[in-house]
Structure 1
Amino acid sequence: MKKVIILIGAGMLMLLGVGGSCGVSGVKILKGMAENRPGEFGRWQGVFRWCARGLPFVDNLPEWVGDKTYIVLLQNNTELRPTGGFMGSYIRARFKDGGLVDWTAQDIYEPDGKLAGHVEPPYPVQEAFRQGWWRLRDSNWDPDFASAAATVAWFLEQGGEEKIDGVMAINLELVNSILKILGPVEVVTYGETVTDKNLYNLAQSYAEVDWKPGSTQKRDFLGAVGTAVWERMKNIRPGQAVKLAGLVKAQLDKKQILVWIGEEKLQAEIREWGWDGGLGNYYGDYLYIVETNLGANKANCCINRELRHEVEIGDGELRERIEVEWQNDNPFENPRPPYFWGGDYIDYVRVVVPREARVVSVSVSGEKLRPQTQGDFARPSSLRQERSEEVWVEEERERVRIIGFWVVVPARERVAAEVKYELPGDEFADMYRVLVKRQPGIEKFAYRLTVNGIVRREGEVMKDERIEAGME
């Protein structure tokens, strides 16, 4: 692992244009961290900070790797959740005085089962699973990663983890991309050859076939895979290290890797680089579709979506219509382990728009939903037993309005949802501007923007995109 950290870190420095004595000092720091040699870190970090000012994490480097404990969430984006995917496992990384002193993998159900007391669940979680409580496994609920990560950290600490200073989320797709670079990896203890094509099915098979309470099958298998990957990476070639570094940088920029730090000064740096996974409505109009798979399956292996966005501007007002259409290509309604884990797509959808928006209507499959009433939520969430598919709910935050409702897409079918709303439009008299966000865990989606009857953008959205359209 030491060589891996050094080589990938060196590759990142190359990608960021750090060479010469700066590059040498950076590699020395990485080596000191990986080998837990505080003296080496202390000797070179001053030089590196001086000559690499302005690069990520450099100015506050000693604080990043002082006495800190970080959690890396390993999310399965074939079961889509707001921050990317279902949290099946995590890694605990502990630093002290610039050195990495601990790196341990753990199953999410280990601390999940130790939570004492009752935590009231978000109502869709209760309506989906009807268990009467909120647990760690479903705690990455908020579409704003900073809020979700802080909640995850709290649940982990309640489950016995020491104080957590930061949380990073990565998805299964990143692990698959790493395997594409490395090639097949032999997991000798299980007699398996793991590739980017079969990792998911193997992990699910060992996790859920003959599973029983207290089982460590998934943890043991993923731990064995992790060990095998690290062993393989000990012999990584410099060219592969550069590819891995490029992959990590690209995933950060695409917000497929998200980072939250509890200390505000350090979190501000994450926000500045756009790696915080925040809602971030600071740019004209705004549109973010957030999906949550609450079907206890891996249906997102086989889900495609199209977003059609129509805007009419006139008389100082924006009238907007969005339509999202999902295609569920899962062949069966329910999982058929050990070879198939998908099924019907039971999706709680949140449409995030500017706070000033006034919702006109919400429809699913042509059926108009009704807005929530006070009576709809008179009972505690933990007592709810049925999905309220006929209702849409509304939440107002500092800069955004969140519209939530259920969408169920049966296997082999297509289903569309429509939301209409209005916005003040004076600022768009000459130029329409919109930020269209792409949810972590989704690689891409088809998008078409029509402004006053003219198609202004059509194609795939692969990362958050700012779009401008002049008025004609």
Structure 2
Amino acid sequence: MVRENMEDVPKISFSKEGTAVRMVEKPKEESGGAKVIEKKGEDAFGDKKVKLSQSNTVLSLKLKNRRRWWGRLLVLAMVVLGLVLLAGWPAWQLVRGGKEAYAKVQTVVEAVKRQDLPEAKTALAEAEREVVTLQKTYRLLGWLRFTPITAYYQDGEHALAAAVESVQAGRILVTAVEPHVDVLGLKGEGTFTGGTTEDRIVAILGTLNEIRPSVAEAAEKLTMAQEEIRAIKPERYRLTVKGKELESLILRVKGTMDEVVTVVTRIQPVLEVLPIMAGVEEQQRYLVLFQNDAELRPTGGFMTAYAIMTVDRGRIIAERSVDIYELDAKFRKRLEPPEPIKKYLEVNSWYLRDMNFSPDFAESMKMFLSYYRELPGEAEIDGVIAIDTKVLKDLVAILGPLEVSEFGTFSMETDERCNCPQVIYKLEDLVTRPVATIRSDRKAVLGPMMQTIIQKAYDAESNAWPALFQSFYKNVTEKHIIFYMIDNKVQGAVEGFNAGGRITGGDGDYFLINDANFGGAKSNLFITQEVEQEISLEGDKVKKMVTILYKNPFAGSNCNLEAGKLCLNGVLQDFFRLYVPKGSKLIESSGFEEDSVTTYEELEKTAIEGFFTLTPQSQTKLELTYTVPYRPEGTYLMTIQKQPGTYSPKYTIILGAERQEFELTVDKDWRVALP
């Protein structure tokens, strides 16, 4: 018979001893009228009351909980194992593949250093396969997009995509150059069938049109790689791994990629106009200015002499060389000089030799040529090429000692009288030492020397050509060779390659130190320069404390004109200009002559000018504090330009906890991520 009231059904359970027990629940009154259930245990068959064991119930609950937790741990273990399989294996493959790809890239770098293009091409192909494989393996971690670390996963995608594009760009360039390796003097088998050096030069110029499309294709790939690198946010990686700060490393990679893209992009118009400059279609004539960087001037050095050089289908002929004072002897006009020249050089006329007064080479040459063209007997020219003593030193180092008729031997052996190469001491001795009689040809040595250098280059073995090309490129980028071309298209290509000595700089901070030695001695040969910038951010502007230290540790020369000695190390009388962003405000300065400091706007910058002297075996410290109307967001950017004719001044830049030190050998875009 089924009971209608299911609540009266006795509940049966078993004790630890196996006795069947009936559970009877009866309501029990408590104070306040509330009812509670009282549980009693009875014998299921004899209605004998048996007290339940509380410990048995607790034990039963513990056993159930343990089984439940063991199940959960098993599920968790399976999840962890799955994650290990999903992430661990690809990660191991990435580490292994990354090491192999890095090794291949190092092989490429070493092959390029040895000018071994066949090996570089093979290594690039292998590196490309490794990087593409890495990219495919990395995609196995695609599920990380749906986790909190999705941004880091995407950064990895950007880095690998950049690597693929970069390696492919390298392969394209090497493949393009490979057929012409013999012409360029590189290792490998090319298509050049032999001939004279002039034939080789014509062949080199002929290869440019064939290489240009490949350079453009490589530039596109490098630009895509640049965009991938820019998508990575360095501020996410403020940690150190194996002693390397990842954020700084990423910023350096970004900077390097920007420089590579800039060079490859800028070189395309140069490749287009180079045949014009080399006189392939029509002979070109250039005025070659020799700027003596031992007597530093705004565009690189005192214009001590010049030569006329013609270029016809790549063949270079030095027609003649002339002392700059001879040129001034033809210049009959008496122009009012700029105030600093009048005051510190103590002259009342502005001569041609001092017209490189503007730190912008194009501006100086426009002024110079406007009067040069009026001189009788001077040829029409297609441009100006300025070189300094660094160019001569490098050429002698590559080609060996020069035997110049009537002037003797010039070499790179150290001359203890100046602790400099013998070629420099002998040149200074020939063109500078005071003599009792007039020597109108005292600086005519430059023409015969140039012709000797050209002939030695023509006669050199082909394996010397890579060193000559590298030296030329390095001296152009370091502003020891600068150009001003009359043709607007050619000048545009020159400026695009940053070979025109122009004052540039866009958004952000800007910094250029420009010195002019108005003392006459060659003391810049012995002087070093150290620059420290301490930057602090103050609202919508930047405050900068700049310290510039000039040192001359060497003993002075006998500069008495009556003694007839060679005056190299004399008192430096320095006309100083610091160019900073337009609208900057000078707060205070020290180290300059009294009342010599002033500020004004020039070349779309604010110029801070002053004057100081430096004697041998001493040092001078300049200090300037000023504000810049610049409010950086995310990254602090500063364009630092190098004065032509200078070597490697030491720079230290401090911004908060960031401190960077480097030698300024080329113009530099300095950047650092802000906290």
Q: Identify the TM-score tier after normalising by the shorter chain.
A: 0.7 to 0.9
Contact between 1:32 and 1:98, CA under 8 Å: does it hold in 2?
Answer: no
Counterpart code for 2:462: P
Q: 1:203 aligns with which of 423, 427, 446?
A: 427
Contact between 2:544 and 2:626, CA under 8 Å: does it hold in 1?
Answer: yes
Shift of 1:33: 12
- Taking the aligned partners of 2:182 and 2:526, their CA distance within structure 1 comes to 46
Q: 1:129 aligns with which of 302, 324, 345?
A: 345
Shift of 1:129: 2.6
- Name 2:466's counterpart in structure 1: 242
The one-character-per-residue Cα deviations of 1:86-144 (angstroms, maximum 9, x if unpaired) are 11122212356887576432222221210011112122222223221111111111111
- What pairs up with 1:160-239 in 2 under 5 angstroms? 160=376, 161-187=378-404, 189-195=406-412, 197-209=421-433, 211=435, 215-239=439-463
- Name 1:364's counterpart in structure 2: 591
SS state at 2:620 partner: strand
Contact between 2:634 and 2:673, CA under 8 Å: does it hold in 1?
Answer: yes
Correspondence 1:313 to 2:518 = no
- Taking the aligned partners of 1:248 and 1:289, their CA distance within structure 2 comes to 25
- Taking the aligned partners of 2:317 and 2:428, their CA distance within structure 1 comes to 31
The one-character-per-residue Cα deviations of 1:300-351 (angstroms, maximum 9, x if unpaired) are 1110111110111022221112111111224127536645512111100100
Shift of 1:76: 1.2
Contact between 1:33 and 1:99, CA under 8 Å: does it hold in 2?
Answer: no
- Taking the aligned partners of 1:185 and 1:248, their CA distance within structure 2 comes to 18
The one-character-per-residue Cα deviations of 1:22-47 (angstroms, maximum 9, x if unpaired) are 67899999x999969xxx97x99787
- Taking the aligned partners of 2:388 and 2:180, their CA distance within structure 1 comes to 32
Bigger radius of gyration, 1 or 2? 2
Q: 2:476 aligns with which of 225, 234, 252?
A: 252
Name which structure has the greater RCO, CA cutoff 8 Å, separation 6+: 1
SS state at 1:240 partner: helix
Correspondence 1:274 to 2:477 = no
The one-character-per-residue Cα deviations of 1:231-270 (angstroms, maximum 9, x if unpaired) are 4434312222211111001111222211111222221111
Correspondence 1:262 to 2:466 = no
- Taking the aligned partners of 1:120 and 1:217, their CA distance within structure 2 comes to 29
Name the structure with the higher helix share.
2
Correspondence 1:391 to 2:602 = no
- Taking the aligned partners of 1:458 and 1:20, their CA distance within structure 2 comes to 38
Contact between 1:69 and 1:164, CA under 8 Å: does it hold in 2?
Answer: yes
- Taking the aligned partners of 1:412 and 1:45, their CA distance within structure 2 comes to 50
- Taking the aligned partners of 1:190 and 1:408, their CA distance within structure 2 comes to 35
Counterpart code for 1:229: I
Name the structure with the higher strand share.
1
Contact between 2:184 and 2:465, CA under 8 Å: does it hold in 1?
Answer: no
Q: 2:329 aligns with which of 95, 108, 113?
A: 113
Shifted more, 20-29 versus 228-237: the winner is 20-29
Contact between 1:83 and 1:141, CA under 8 Å: does it hold in 2?
Answer: yes
- Name 1:19's counterpart in structure 2: 177
- Name 2:639's counterpart in structure 1: 435
- Name 1:84's counterpart in structure 2: 300
Distance 1:333 1:189, change over 3 A: closer
SS state at 1:78 partner: helix
Counterpart code for 1:456: R
Correspondence 1:343 to 2:546 = no
Unaligned runs of 5+ in 2: 1-114, 121-172, 186-190, 216-267, 414-420
Contact between 2:291 and 2:303, CA under 8 Å: does it hold in 1?
Answer: yes
Shifted more, 125-134 versus 309-318: the winner is 125-134
- Name 1:58's counterpart in structure 2: 271
SS state at 2:559 partner: coil
- Taking the aligned partners of 2:568 and 2:406, their CA distance within structure 1 comes to 25
Correspondence 1:468 to 2:671 = yes
Distance 1:226 1:271, change over 3 A: closer
- Taking the aligned partners of 1:291 and 1:392, their CA distance within structure 2 comes to 14
The one-character-per-residue Cα deviations of 1:419-458 (angstroms, maximum 9, x if unpaired) are 22112233x1422111122211111111111113x34212
CA RMSD of aligned residues (A): 3.4
Distance 1:449 1:193, change over 3 A: closer
Shift of 1:219: 2.6
Correspondence 1:456 to 2:659 = yes
- Taking the aligned partners of 1:34 and 1:267, their CA distance within structure 2 comes to 28
- Taking only the aligned residue pairs, the percentage that are identical comes to 23
- Name 1:378's counterpart in structure 2: none
Correspondence 1:293 to 2:510 = no
Contact between 2:307 and 2:318, CA under 8 Å: does it hold in 1?
Answer: no
Q: 1:93 aligns with which of 289, 302, 309?
A: 309
- Name 1:8's counterpart in structure 2: none
Counterpart code for 2:585: R
Counterpart code for 1:350: R
- Name 1:148's counterpart in structure 2: 364
- Taking the aligned partners of 1:166 and 1:276, their CA distance within structure 2 comes to 11
- Name 2:68's counterpart in structure 1: none
Distance 1:341 1:320, change over 3 A: same
Shifted more, 390-399 versus 142-151: the winner is 390-399
Shift of 1:283: 4.2
- Taking the aligned partners of 2:515 and 2:196, their CA distance within structure 1 comes to 38
Contact between 2:540 and 2:629, CA under 8 Å: does it hold in 1?
Answer: yes
- Taking the aligned partners of 2:196 and 2:494, their CA distance within structure 1 comes to 21
- Name 2:613's counterpart in structure 1: 408
Shifted more, 148-157 versus 172-181: the winner is 148-157
- Taking the aligned partners of 1:188 and 1:68, their CA distance within structure 2 comes to 27
Contact between 1:113 and 1:159, CA under 8 Å: does it hold in 2?
Answer: no
The one-character-per-residue Cα deviations of 1:155-213 (angstroms, maximum 9, x if unpaired) are 43233423332111111011011111122223453444543611222122222445367
Distance 1:169 1:302, change over 3 A: same
- Taking the aligned partners of 1:44 and 1:179, their CA distance within structure 2 comes to 23
Correspondence 1:157 to 2:365 = no
Shifted more, 99-108 versus 71-80: the winner is 99-108
Unaligned runs of 5+ in 1: 1-10, 370-388
- Taking the aligned partners of 1:191 and 1:99, their CA distance within structure 2 comes to 25
- Name 1:373's counterpart in structure 2: none
Contact between 1:321 and 1:418, CA under 8 Å: does it hold in 2?
Answer: yes
Tell me the TM-score normalized by structure 1.
Answer: 0.81
Contact between 2:528 and 2:551, CA under 8 Å: does it hold in 1?
Answer: yes
Shift of 1:214: 5.3
Contact between 1:185 and 1:195, CA under 8 Å: does it hold in 2?
Answer: no
SS state at 2:270 partner: coil
Contact between 2:479 and 2:645, CA under 8 Å: does it hold in 1?
Answer: no
- Name 1:417's counterpart in structure 2: 622
Counterpart code for 1:174: V
- Name 2:75's counterpart in structure 1: none
Contact between 2:521 and 2:567, CA under 8 Å: does it hold in 1?
Answer: no
